[in-house]
Structure 1
Amino acid sequence: MRRILSVLMVLAPVLVAPTPAFADEGDVTWTVRTASNSYGADRSSYSYSVNPSGTAKDAMIVANRGKDPLTLAVYAADGLTAETGQLDLHARNDKPTGIGAWLTTGGGTIAVQPGRTVTVPFTVSVPANATPGDYVGGIVTSLTQPDQAQGINVERRLGIRIKLRVGGALTPNVAIENLHVDYHGTWNPFSKGDATVSYTIHNTGNTAQSAQQAVAVAGPFGWFRTSSAQPAASPELLPGESWRMTVPVEGVTPALWAGATTTLTPLLTDASGSISPLPAVVATAHGPAVPWTLVVVLVVLVALVIASRFLRVRRKAREDARVQQAVEQALAQV
């Protein structure tokens, strides 16, 4: 059985509208774009607000720019945030639970003649028991071809993003989890060091959100507060997703104990595309910030002082003993 390797995934929103998404390899070329209808013209992606038990009907236009007829698979998939921070789609054989399960087309494949276009109508049917909130996925066209040299099937995918907001109570919320601070000193016993603050941003609400971030480290009682360079906003996280952050903070005073404070300002995008900041979320963690080089220097100095005092006492004891012996000898001769 051949293994399937997915080598191309393009989502239309990454391109500047109204340029269609486009796949090209040799003589096989096709494009996809949104249809012009009551939802709008020249859209870069699909966006719907639908209540439970409701539907949204739309269409995708597929054009064959090559010289040969094309037979393409058409299917839907749920979205996810990739390690790069960009939107990606689950593989075709991953079991969908959202848009990938709710979107249906007229058939599983389409045939497109050279120089022609095919309209692919589809329907998004939201179940009655769907949880309110945001869902992201995509409608995908796919071409699978054998690679005889590698012994695998190569799947090339081209799709358009779909963002769906299911009506009901929206509960946007993010949490800061697994917050840690680590201090890193220098060889110079009197210089400041650096700290590393790490934490996880967890979207615990039911809306897609990104977050502006601010990180600072301070000593006891808030003394010697130092802020990091402004971290970039997190990628937009889907409900339930997490994003791990590691932020360096330079010029931290080693005051024996350090407190790291992370502040997140969630950013919520509404149905019109407007972005609104939400109340900030703050978390604090503590850890040692010991200037170990200075501690070693102090330990050595203390050891030298103790050793010097011990040697003085020992010399005095020897001198006293010598004097006492001389006195005793003198008295014995009288």
Structure 2
Amino acid sequence: MHPPRSCTTTAAGSLARAVVVALLAAFGLLGARTGPAAAADGEVSWTVATASNDFGSDRRNYAYTLDPGGRLEDGLVIANRGTTPLHLNVYAADAFTTEQGGLDLFGKDAKPAGVGAWVRPDRPDVTVGPGESAEVPFTVALPDDVAPGEYMGGVVTSPAQPGAADGRRLGIRIRLRVGGALTPSLSVEDLKVRYSGTPNPIGTGEATVTYTIRNNGNSVLAARQAVSLSGPFGHWDARAEHVGDSPRLLPGDTWKVSVPVHGVTPALRLTGTVTLVPLLTDAAGSVAPLAAVESTTHTWTLPWAPLLVLVVLGGLAVAALTSRRRRRATRHAGEPHHALPDRETAGR
């Protein structure tokens, strides 16, 4: 995704660009962008920032609250830091959660259904001269029947020339709160426990708990997670070591989790419990924990080593009993047979 660097670049320049690229990669390029975005590619570079207006200046991203049918206007500022004219596409896109847990924005060809459909830049592309900047106004217009809740998307810029050397996209995130009741909700789906056992007859084994977190509410949520296993009547409790919070999930998103649990006693029947605490982050960045959600499942954990010992001992006992019966049968077969006297002869 990142083009090769020139061999004639100075060490300082290489280090600076490496730092920029590393930061962009760490923030997921577009998905985690919370402020002015920048990309450099030798001969082409630009930045994007929020416009200064009634919404404020030096904003890190766009955050709006609108009722259904509402409308507002804002702008994106593009600055060309290069030495040649810069021709960029400008478009809006919906956000999604990546497999790595970051937020990213769909490409230009994806069909939008939320923010990407409601945000309309004044023009689809812009040309910015070297050392100059240009503001691209855009309008946010909501349908009358849009459902309440939180929506994520962004305004994106990308090179307009086909096959441009710099294929990166730069954008700024839009967090939109549509007026109405917020119903934050998380659920646990496909909860399973897999026990791997132990060869030690009196030892403990390992287990893996897998499940899927689903955001089935209408707000962006992360989840604080706890996983535990226990035997009958709550005995032999084993808890997973610290499980990190899930990434922030958009409404309707899912996130698959796999958690190892050590020191699990094979107590025939195990109960696996997953507890989620939804974390709601408001526009100011404050995090509020909500009521916990708990889900359980059960699985059989046969202690194979002890059972094998019992089977062997039982087999030895059966073999010994069978051998004893055979010896007794052989001994009786070897004893002399005494015929009973004839009654008539005995009575004479």
Structure 2 length-normalised TM = 0.86
1:307 shift after superposition: 0.5
Counterpart in the other structure of 1:103: 119
Secondary structure in 2 matching 1:156: coil
Counterpart in the other structure of 2:80: 64
Q: For structure 1, list consecutive stretches of 5 or more residues without a partner in the other structure.
A: none
AA aligned to 1:10 is: L
1:189 shift after superposition: 2.1
Counterpart in the other structure of 1:11: 30
Is contact 2:30-2:169 (8 Å) kept? no
Counterpart in the other structure of 2:57: 41
Mapped to 1, the partners of 2:264 and 2:62 lie a distance apart of 47
1:33 shift after superposition: 1.2
Mapped to 1, the partners of 2:232 and 2:31 lie a distance apart of 51
Counterpart in the other structure of 2:221: 209
Is contact 1:12-1:44 (8 Å) kept? no
AA aligned to 1:118 is: A
| Within-5 A mapping of 1:81-160 | 81-147=97-163, 155-160=167-172
AA aligned to 1:80 is: F
Is contact 2:209-2:261 (8 Å) kept? yes
Is contact 2:68-2:179 (8 Å) kept? yes
Mapped to 1, the partners of 2:166 and 2:304 lie a distance apart of 56
AA aligned to 1:40 is: G
RMSD (Å), alpha carbons: 2.2
Select 1:190's aligned residue among 202, 211, 224. Answer: 202
Mapped to 2, the partners of 1:34 and 1:231 lie a distance apart of 36
The 3 A distance-change label for structure 1 pair 14 and 160 is: closer
Secondary structure in 2 matching 1:215: strand
AA aligned to 2:184 is: P
Counterpart in the other structure of 2:91: 75
Q: Larger strand proportion, structure 1 or 2?
A: 1
Is contact 2:70-2:141 (8 Å) kept? yes
The 3 A distance-change label for structure 1 pair 61 and 306 is: same
Mapped to 1, the partners of 2:222 and 2:72 lie a distance apart of 26
The 3 A distance-change label for structure 1 pair 127 and 79 is: same
Select 2:37's aligned residue among 21, 24, 30. Answer: 21
Q: Which deviations, in whole Å up to 9, do the C-alpha atoms of 1:183-214 show, x marking residues without a partner?
A: 11022222100111111111111111111000
Counterpart in the other structure of 2:329: 317
| Within-5 A mapping of 1:273-288 | 273-288=285-300
1:12 shift after superposition: 8.0
Secondary structure in 2 matching 1:118: strand
Counterpart in the other structure of 2:249: 237
1:101 shift after superposition: 0.4
- How many correspondences in the alignment? 317
Q: Which deviations, in whole Å up to 9, do the C-alpha atoms of 1:189-245 show, x marking residues without a partner?
A: 221001111111111111111110001000111111111012111111111111111
1:294 shift after superposition: 2.0
AA aligned to 2:149 is: G
AA aligned to 2:331 is: E
Is contact 1:12-1:33 (8 Å) kept? no
Is contact 2:32-2:104 (8 Å) kept? no
1:259 counterpart = 2:278: no
1:120 shift after superposition: 1.4
Structure 1 length-normalised TM = 0.89
1:146 shift after superposition: 4.7
Is contact 1:256-1:288 (8 Å) kept? yes
Is contact 2:32-2:103 (8 Å) kept? no
AA aligned to 1:187 is: P
Q: For structure 2, list consecutive stretches of 5 or more residues without a partner in the other structure.
A: 4-23, 342-348
1:37 shift after superposition: 2.5
Is contact 2:33-2:172 (8 Å) kept? no
1:293 shift after superposition: 2.1
1:177 counterpart = 2:189: yes
Mapped to 1, the partners of 2:216 and 2:192 lie a distance apart of 20
Q: Which deviations, in whole Å up to 9, do the C-alpha atoms of 1:275-326 show, x marking residues without a partner?
A: 111111111000111111221121111101111121122112212322x23x
Mapped to 2, the partners of 1:12 and 1:56 lie a distance apart of 23
Mapped to 2, the partners of 1:226 and 1:136 lie a distance apart of 39
Is contact 1:144-1:154 (8 Å) kept? no
AA aligned to 2:68 is: P
1:6 shift after superposition: 10
Select 2:283's aligned residue among 268, 271, 294. Answer: 271
Mapped to 1, the partners of 2:263 and 2:161 lie a distance apart of 56
Secondary structure in 1 matching 2:117: helix
Mapped to 1, the partners of 2:165 and 2:311 lie a distance apart of 67
